Chain A
């Protein structure tokens, strides 16, 4: 485990070094000097993004199952969770968890204190909870857009609830919801810049630090270009997954329904 972490850290440094030295002949001096810092932040943003989108998706699955369940004790709390996280700004959520809960200190939080002390962990937690609410709503759209006849047919075949979910509903809902999910991942990437307000040195945090030393506006443009590169990579990856998942007849049936 420790070896794995060490290998990853070494890889990160090697990647950052080789990209920076490759870019140095063609880029202005300001960027060359700041390059290692930029890529340090770049990787922090990627780590937060990957972890929170995967964890958020898993939580969203649980939340959406509760949300569409006929049991009110499940659906009402799930609805409330989605409503609160979608109805308040992410910045407020971050500050409530980091500065608000964090203010309770070691005596108030007990064993949780080491977790809430670290901006990175609170950032990961908040991004995860936030994106889970949005993804749950996207998945609900996918589930509720399925023709009801399919569910009835599956019931008539004697499938249990979990079989219906696993075999009939989910495989279709995920394909319907994928484009909207891709959008949400890009929005999450952009939203992750806010963790820089709770002391995390992600790409935005590094950009702000470098800027505060030079007061040169082009620093923000370099940061923006790196975010654009990340957005491009994500879009590409999401399209690959979409193509991999595509079922020819299914997509055709879907597009023929559109005007």
Chain B
């Protein structure tokens, strides 16, 4: 294969697949971003559950985290993908309605990815919560702050600094895990590469191109992480 054919394969427009790959990359970014937001929110709730003094809640969140950490992401994603449809049908039929509704693939992928992300994020949040020195909490309580005030004024602003490295790592993992959505035929980057390689019979070109785009995305994330960490650490000598 000569260079010219690689360029025409990756060209933009009707003849090449370059624009399709970029469209896929855009869906990958959206998928990762939405899952990040949902996963962070869910992760905070789970961390609250783990730190709560109420035993049953503690036990429940622990079980969930152990389940997610010991089960392949791929399996969780498929379970959610097939499970969501089933749940919708069950609910519909309990009302006596025959449902033909299919949960959109994007929604299913977001649900799966944020469930996975939240389990790991909750561990990071828990670590960050406990990393704030006890002396500061005691001092804040001694000045007459209520527990809510202590959390909002003393703990939360510092948790960000402790949680950032862990969360940045999880973001990288999440970004790469979005590729699993290709298996449930969501039109993200890897799926577009698959469609293109099946149409042109040039899998090497398209899978390597997809790999390069993922590498660019993770490289940008790495730079952003560096900037954010500098910001979060300002005022702390290292």
Contacts and interface: CB of A to CB of B under 8 A. Distances in A.
A197 B183 CA distance: 8
A95 interface: yes
Contacts of B177: 89
Interface residues of B, number: 38
B207 A100 contact: yes
B176 interface: yes
B128 interface: no
A231 B214 CA distance: 29
Contacts of B72: 189-194, 204, 227
Given A87-B215, A103-B204, A227-B75, A92 B82 contact: no
A174 B178 CA distance: 32
Given A95-B203, A99-B197, A227-B71, A217 B83 contact: yes
A91 interface: yes
A103 B197 CA distance: 10
Interface string A78-96: 0000011011111111011
Contact of A92 (B83, B86, B179, B219): B179
A37 interface: no
A87 B214 contact: yes
B182 interface: yes
Contacts of B69: 186, 231
Nearest to A190: B72
Nearest to B82: A217
Contacts, number: 113
B70 interface: yes
A228 interface: yes
User: Chain A binding site: helix, strand, loop or mixed by DSSP?
Assistant: helix
Interface in B174-223: 176-180, 182-183, 190, 194, 197, 201-204, 207-208, 210-211, 214-215, 218-219
A104 interface: yes
Interface string A119-152: 0000000000000000000000000000000000
Contact of A89 (B86, B190, B201): B190
Nearest to A90: B176
B214 A220 contact: no
B83 A190 contact: no
Contact of A93 (B70, B71, B211): B211
B210 A190 contact: no
Nearest to A208: B78
Interface string A208-236: 10010001010011011001101110000
A76 interface: no
A112 B71 CA distance: 34
A155 B177 CA distance: 45
